[in-house]
Structure formats: C-alpha cells, structure tokens
Amino acid sequence: VFTRDAAGHALFEGARLDALFAGAHGLTTPAYVYSLDAIVAELDALRAGFDGAAHLVAYAVKANSAGPILRALAEHGAGADVVSGGELQVALGAGIGPESIVYSGVGKRDEELDLALTAGGPGILSIQAESVEELGRIAERAARLGRRAPVSLRVNPGVLADTHAHVATGHDEAKFGIAAAELPAAFALSTGSPHLTLVGLASHVGSQLTETTAYLDAATTLLRLAEAHQQALGALQFLDFGGGFGIDYGDGCAACPADFVRALVALVRRSPFADRRILVEPGRCLVGAHGVLCASVLMAKSARAADGEPARRWLMIDAGMNDLLRPALYGARHRIEPMASQPQAEAPRYRVVGPVCESSDDFGEAPFAEPLPRRVVIRDAGAYGFTMASQYNGRALPDEVFLRGGRVVAVLRGATVDAWVSGRLG
C-alpha cells in the first residue's frame, strides 16, 4: 500500500483503491487508476526546472492519451507531441491549442499532413520532418493547400542511449531522424522552398533514460549543428530536445526529470541560441508512476517440482498482456503488490500471470502471504499501459478511473467483450 512517491506526490491508498472495486462505483477489474493531482504536480516540478527559460513541454501523447489527463496537463500549460492524426485530434479536442502541438513520426499519411497544416485554421506549431523525402511530401501538401508549412528537422544525433534496444531511437541504425550526411540537403530544401518555413531543430535519443549523459550528448550535437548552419536559421523559433526522461520502476533512477531540464537549460544558455524556445517531449515521466493497473486474483496454481526443488507457484490474475504489454514486449518488470495490505518481502514468491494464451503473458515474480489477496496492484503502469492495450484473445479493454483529491472524477469505459464479438461478426 503506497500513498506517496519519492517526490512526495499523493498517490493511491490501498484500502481506498480496494473500496473502488468493492463499492458502489460499479467498477470491475482489470482497470487502470490514475492520480490527476500527481500528474499535474509532476508537470509543475518539470516546468520549474526551466528556471525562467522560454519553453514548451510538448507532452508525448502516445504515453497516455486519456482525455482527463490531457485536459489536466493542458490546464497547466502543456502542449503536445503527437504521432498520428488520431493523436492530433484527441490533443485538439482536449483543449491543447494547435500552436502548442508538434507532430513527429517517420510515416505520415497525406490526410494527416493536411490536418496538421490546417488544424484550428493556421495549423500546428511544427511538423517534424524525419527525412529529406518527407520534406518534399510536406511541401507538396502545403502547395496544394496554398500554405507554407512550418517544419522542424528531426536530426539523428548518432547517439546510442543506454536503454532497451526497442526504445533507443537516436543511433545510426535507427529508422528515425535525418542522418548527418543528409542534413545539407534537408537545410537547402527547407530554407529554399516557397512552401516550407524552417522553425525548429529536433532530436530524440530514446526512452527510459536513467541518467543524463546520452541526452546531453545529443543536445550538444544539436546545438553544434544549429551553430554550423546559423545563417540558414533566421526563422528558427525553437530547439526540441525530445523526451525520454526515465522513472523508477523499483530499481532506482539516478536522474529525475528536472535534472535533465536543468542541465539542458544550462547548455542552451551557454550557446548562441539562448533566446530560442526550448521544447521537450516527455511522456513516461509525467504519467508513468501515477497510474496503476488493478487486477483481481482468479486463483493460485501450484505444481510439485522434481527432486526436492521448491514447488512452482503461479498467481492467476484477470489482467493480461493485452492490458499491459510492457513485460511481454520488453521484459519490463513492474512491482506487483497486494491491494489492501502491506507487501511482505519474505512471503512465498508467485509468478504472476494473466489468462492470455502466450507464455510471455507473465508479469514476473512477487511475494504473497496467506491468505492470498483478492486484488493486486501493478505499479507504474500509467505510461504505455492502456495506450498499448489490445483485445487480443477476445478480451475487453480495461476501464480507466481518474482520481482528484482521492475522489473519482472521471471514468473511461474500455471496449467490452460484447463489442468485440459484434465487431468480429461484422
């Protein structure tokens, strides 16, 4: 049962969480529960790190696109980093102004580009171009609409971040960003075309960075590049250093999000671009620790092992890899605790598994004392939890519950099994 995180943000009280599912709310597991207070406090703490420097926190909507979260972040001055027309629409619908939205991603459809160019009338702050070829496509769409497209060049800084290979994006082998050798052509096209205005330079090295080195290396590269092309960059409004600030999943995290920002601001202030706006694109660090996945225990299963080995024990829960994919996809480990009682480190260990027919539907080991809990909490599931959920195996999508001051202020209902059945039958 945990009530505060390391930074002192109000979190979830186990007994109250348990009452949500036992009480009159009509809530069932599996369900995500989020603390809007803690999410907003996290944004405020990050923004304080800018120490008066002009900035925009462009929240990476892919981490969690729930309307109540987007609205709360928008009210506290966040913009958005989107990667699809769908995310762009949800950000706009939640009240994030088009002038505070950047659009990243290696493959954008024509209709998505058109939406970005026209959103709210004048279009969004910037379309982040990931290749010279894409610059050509953006110019063509802008020409058709009789517009000038604001573009930023997403540079591949050639930095290999020390993180899971699936989420490292800033190295030479990654599909992301414009390689150094292509940059002269990208600068020439973006500053020479009558349909493009070069408004920014951007980079992103990867996700779940637990120390600042790779991030600052990439930032230094970006600033050097900007300096080398200074004449071409008259209209440059911002430098976007991407997201990736890590959180503590239980093994510690040397750098907190504001550490990245403070070091970044110091770098920019020493450069010729001290007067430009600094953008960052954090996703995980704003929401990750402030959402939990709540599940019920279906039953325990045990199997005697051969030759005096300890018996194997599994705890079957009603959440599966379709609800939270991170353990199956990345081998990620999330702390799993009884919902209504204290975790007991010395208790027998169980492998906590879901009902999906895949061996990777396995959340890892956790200790549980007898009597076994009725419900468990999977911690730090606020980022890349619901947004990566699916209805695999004909399952429902989890509900999402939003708390403010410990009270339920909104519930988003996940797609039901009945909806899945009728969708499949067509």
| Residues forming the site for ligand LLP (CB under 6 A) | 60, 63, 81, 104, 167, 169, 204, 207-208, 242-245, 281-285, 326, 330, 384
Minimum CB–partner distance for residue 288 and ligand LLP (Å): 8
Given the complex with ligand LLP, which of 384 and 386 has the nearer CB atom?
Answer: 384
Q: What is the DSSP string of 59-108?
A: EEGGG---HHHHHHHHHTT-EEEESSHHHHHHHHHTT--GGGEEE--S--
Please, what is the minimum distance in Å from the beta carbon of residue 360 to ligand LLP?
15
User: What are the helix (H) ranges across 145-256?
Assistant: 183-192, 213-228
Least Cβ distance, residue 353 to ligand LLP (angstroms): 20
> Which residue number, 21 or 386, has a Cβ lying nearer to ligand LLP?
386
Which residues, other chains included, contact 384 with Cβ-Cβ below 8 Å and sequence gap of 6+? 62, 63, 64, 283, 284, 288, 325, 326
Q: What angle do CA 277, 279, 280 make, to 5 degrees?
A: 155
- The CB-of-383 to ligand LLP minimum distance in angstroms stands at 6
Annotated catalytic residue, options 253, 256, 285, 357: 357
Distance CA 43, CA 61 (A): 14
Residue in 104, 110, 108, 150 with CA at minimum distance from that of residue 126: 150
Question: Minimum CB separation from ligand LLP for residue 62, in Å?
Answer: 6
CB of 382 to ligand LLP, least distance (A): 11
357 catalytically annotated: yes
Rounded to a whole number of angstroms, the minimum distance from the CB of residue 83 to ligand LLP is: 7
Is the CB of 54 or the CB of 329 nearer to ligand LLP?
A: 329
> Coil, strand or helix: which one is 151?
strand
Q: Pick the closer one to ligand LLP by CB: 46 or 397.
A: 46
Question: Would you list the DSSP string of 128-142?
Answer: EE-SHHHHHHHHHHH
Nearest alpha-carbon partner for 209 in 261, 177, 171, 164: 164
Q: Is 238 helix (H, G, I), strand (E, B) or coil?
A: strand
Nearest CB to ligand LLP, comparing residues 123 and 257: 257
Nearer to ligand LLP, 284 or 379 (CB): 284
C-alpha–C-alpha distance, residues 92 and 89, integer Å: 5
- Assess contact for 6 and 248: CB atoms under 8 A: yes
Burial class, 238, CB count within 10 angstroms (exposed 0-12 / middle 13-18 / buried 19+): buried
* Residue recorded with tokens 């403010």: 404
Chain centre distance of CA 24: 32
For residues 153 and 151, give the distance between their C-alpha atoms in angstroms, rounded to a whole number: 7
Give whichever of 29 and 156 is closer to ligand LLP, judged by the CB atom: 156
**Residues designated as active site:** 357
